[in-house]
Structure 1
Amino acid sequence: MNILILGSGGREHAFTYKLSQSKKLDTIFVAPGNAGTAEIATNVAINPTDFDAVKKVVLDNNITMVVVGPEAPLVEGVHDFFLADDALKSIPVIGPKKDGALLEGSKDFSKQFMEKHNIPTAKYKSFTQKTLTEGYAFLETLQPPFVLKADGLAAGKGVLILDNIDEAKAELKEMLTNQKFGAASATVVIEEFLKGIELSVFVLTDGKSYKVLPSAKDYKRIGEGDTGLNTGGMGAISPVPFADNAFLTKVEERIIKPTVDGLQKDGIDYRGFIFIGLMNVAGDPFVIEYNVRMGDPETEVVLPRIASDLLELFEGVANQNLNEKSFEVIAQTATTVMLVSGGYPEAYEKGKQISGVEFVEDSIVFHAGTKLENDTVVTNGGRVMAITSFGDTIQEALQKSYKNIDKISFEKMNFRKDIGFDLQ
């Protein structure tokens, strides 16, 4: 089989790494990819949301399956584009169509979906510029902190958590009236704050049956002890120690089954990943958000723990016989630590030469924001590399990652030294 992976980050490198282990694979193309995917696949310099360019790559290279990494092509309808084109419609796309992608593309839609199918989540209401005054009144009914979410995609920046009601009202006005997050905040969801500890559960579904992938926890803040600005993710741990069998059974019964069943009841033919962001509130799971693709850097700890052939599982998704596919998970813990550019998540410089990767032993290096420049690997983003390791304990796995990080360097390299600090 010839596979095309859309995307350029650590998640896509992890997909490339895992799929390249399949006996069924012939070649992998990654669009646009990075310096890491270039080592084990063929990069194609196109934008994943340029569907005509994607079509050309697919037809020119006899692609037999497309795996979509990021959310933007899904929300913009890449799967629908394939189904509407006679030359493409027989080629399976791993990722939902536009109607299913609304679970991530619209916070309001996803909250309505949860309410309709009795899926536990924080109480909420949605507001527009016309109902700003009602929004102020709803804030008055809540206890701080106040959670404001832009309805649409805002590159991970559309969620505000505020302790002061006057500040919350001012930010609500900024979002609705002054388009703080552009069109994404034309509608704003206000919801009650859930107090607990976060984790993520990942599901692969063919629209009828599903496989529950390993749980993971990521660390979003730039600073030690979860302080400072939010990032795309500074590291991750899998499995999550507190997500024991009893808790995961609750997740499956109360959240996963009603989600998959709800999609079927609503006539949404959903084939791909469902990322369920959860809050463990005193032992009970509540949904914070859905994403319609794998997370990053969680993918870098979840995929390496899957012992089964990922391409075989994807065939099960495409053919709707996923329930017939064997699925095994490696018991060991996987941890990943993200190396980031100095200044990230604010302004940072690109083009810094990366050295020492060839000396890494007993860890997997997943490239994120890198590229090849005159045969040299240089930085090309805020999050540069994820260093993933296995161990019998979190401490053992982290020790390997940090030991190997000592061998890698680029100018102003930064990373968190306390990934997993709250789980040990």
Structure 2
Amino acid sequence: MKILVVGKGGREHALIRALKESPGEHEMFSYPGSDAISELAEIVEVGSDVEELLAWMSAVGIDLCVAGEESYLVKDDGLANACERAGIPCWGPHKQSAQLEASKEFAKEFLIRNGIPTGGGVGVDTIEEARQAIAGKYPVVLKFDGLAAGKGVAVCMEEREGEAFLNEVLVERRFGPGRMLIEEFLTGPEVSIFAAVVDGKYQIFTPARDYKRIGEGDAGPNTGGMGAVASRQLIPADLLERIEREIVEPTVVGLQREGLPYRGYLYFGLMLTPDGPKVIEYNCRFGDPECQAVMPLVKGDLAGYCLAGAKGELDPSKITFDEGWSVCVVVASAGYPESSRSGDVISGTEDIGSARVYHAGTKKSSSGAWETNGGRVLAVVAGGEDRGTAVTAAHAAADKIHFDGLQRRRDIGILHFED
């Protein structure tokens, strides 16, 4: 099977490895890819628009396109829409359905229309409207309405923080033109639920929990994710049943009722509030770094599973899930998340034993050495039958990684369980 994975980060590195390890002979391609991904897949070199990529897929005879990075789902006419016109199976939703991620306001209105538990929210255009909507009621959650690579959300505990973020988004336009969602502040632990959705059917994958803030003890600013833990044992079975009943199933039913085609992964970012689980956000793909933690727990024919799903058949018999634990520790570059530093030489990636390393922000130097090339640099992943074993193995492997300015949390897999 010829498989193209669209994206270039740690999530795509993990997806490509999992697909490549599926039974059978698979010819892997990646666009735009990275130096690390090039060791597993052939890098596609075409222009930046979806139509050029589509022409290449048709010429090469791609059997399956897998959408890893969210931006391509809403770029131009939409990756999945273009693939459908060309008769190429695509594991990823249509552009109109991907608005669940691309527009926070669209998602909030969808949730409310379909009676799915979520916090209150209102959309605004200007900083003046935002101030009126907040009316001094801090803490509050502020979300840029569009895609912002995981950096468009701020949990503001006081007015000073709120004003700074409002100015960045609505005055300086850090993320470009767009509205803002002013959202109710919710409390409780977070959990990430992933489902494979094929039209009106779905299958829930292994739950995960990520760690968004830069510092240990959940201190400092939000990042794209400093690590994750995943396991079928992460939350009680009765809670997962409630999440399925009150959130996952109504979402899939709502997509069908509103004529929003969906074949691909759907991420539910949830807050386990005192009033029960509530949706914080949807993502129309696997989370990052949760994908890096979840993929090693997926066994069987993932490539065949995604191909069948892209063609309209959900076939749970093709995959199984390891009942153990997986812990992902992210190492980030100097300055992250406000900035990032490139060019620092990385060592230790070959000394991690049975753990896995997924590359998110790296490049190879002219001498063949790995160097930093972004904010989040590597994800180090290890597993075990119990959480303690997985935590110990993942952090021991991460201890082997070195580069100047390295940032890392040492409470990944521990905080929220033993604090």
TM-score range, shorter chain: over 0.9
1:215 Cα deviation (Å)? 0.6
- Which residue of 153, 160, 164 maps to 1:159? 153
Q: Alignment partner of 2:182: what SS?
A: strand
Retained in 1: the 8 A contact 2:207–2:234?
no
1:218 Cα deviation (Å)? 0.7
The answer to whether structure 1 residue 44 and structure 2 residue 37 are counterparts is no
Per-residue deviation, residues 343-370 of structure 1 (Å, max 9, x unmatched): 2213332122222222221201111112
- Which residue of 173, 177, 183 maps to 2:177? 183
The residue aligned with 2:79 is 78
Q: Alignment partner of 1:263: what SS?
A: helix
- Which residue of 372, 383, 393 maps to 1:390? 383
Higher mean displacement: 353-362 or 303-312: 353-362
Match of 1:407, as an amino acid?
K
The answer to whether structure 1 residue 273 and structure 2 residue 303 are counterparts is no
Measure, in 2, the Cα distance between the counterparts of 1:168 and 1:365: 37
- Which residue of 127, 139, 142 maps to 1:145? 139
Q: Alignment partner of 2:228: what SS?
A: strand
Measure, in 1, the Cα distance between the counterparts of 2:360 and 2:390: 20
Measure, in 2, the Cα distance between the counterparts of 1:94 and 1:356: 35
1:384 Cα deviation (Å)? 1.2
Retained in 2: the 8 A contact 1:316–1:324?
no
1:157 Cα deviation (Å)? 2.1
Q: TM-score scaled by structure 1?
A: 0.91
Which segments of 5 or more consecutive residues in structure 1 lack a partner in the other structure? none
Q: Alignment partner of 1:285: what SS?
A: strand
The residue aligned with 2:57 is 58
1:242 Cα deviation (Å)? 5.3
Inter-CA distance 366–283: structure 2 relative to 1 (3 Å threshold): farther
Which segments of 5 or more consecutive residues in structure 2 lack a partner in the other structure? none
The answer to whether structure 1 residue 104 and structure 2 residue 96 are counterparts is no
Match of 1:99, as an amino acid?
Q
1:208 Cα deviation (Å)? 1.9
The answer to whether structure 1 residue 296 and structure 2 residue 288 are counterparts is yes
Retained in 2: the 8 A contact 1:209–1:323?
no
Measure, in 2, the Cα distance between the counterparts of 1:312 and 1:71: 22
Per-residue deviation, residues 327-357 of structure 1 (Å, max 9, x unmatched): 4210110001011112221333212222222
Percent pairwise identity? 38
The residue aligned with 2:213 is 221
Inter-CA distance 414–179: structure 2 relative to 1 (3 Å threshold): closer
The residue aligned with 1:417 is 410
The answer to whether structure 1 residue 287 and structure 2 residue 279 are counterparts is yes
Inter-CA distance 211–398: structure 2 relative to 1 (3 Å threshold): same
1:283 Cα deviation (Å)? 6.7
Match of 1:229, as an amino acid?
P
Measured on the aligned residues, the alpha-carbon RMSD in Å equals: 2.2
Inter-CA distance 55–256: structure 2 relative to 1 (3 Å threshold): same
Match of 1:43, as an amino acid?
I
Aligned length: 414
Match of 2:409, as an amino acid?
R
Alignment of 1:253-272 (within 5 A): 253-272=245-264
Measure, in 2, the Cα distance between the counterparts of 1:245 and 1:362: 30
Retained in 2: the 8 A contact 1:210–1:323?
no
1:294 Cα deviation (Å)? 0.7
The answer to whether structure 1 residue 346 and structure 2 residue 338 are counterparts is yes
- Which residue of 391, 399, 410 maps to 1:406? 399
Inter-CA distance 171–313: structure 2 relative to 1 (3 Å threshold): same
Q: TM-score scaled by structure 2?
A: 0.92
1:169 Cα deviation (Å)? 6.2
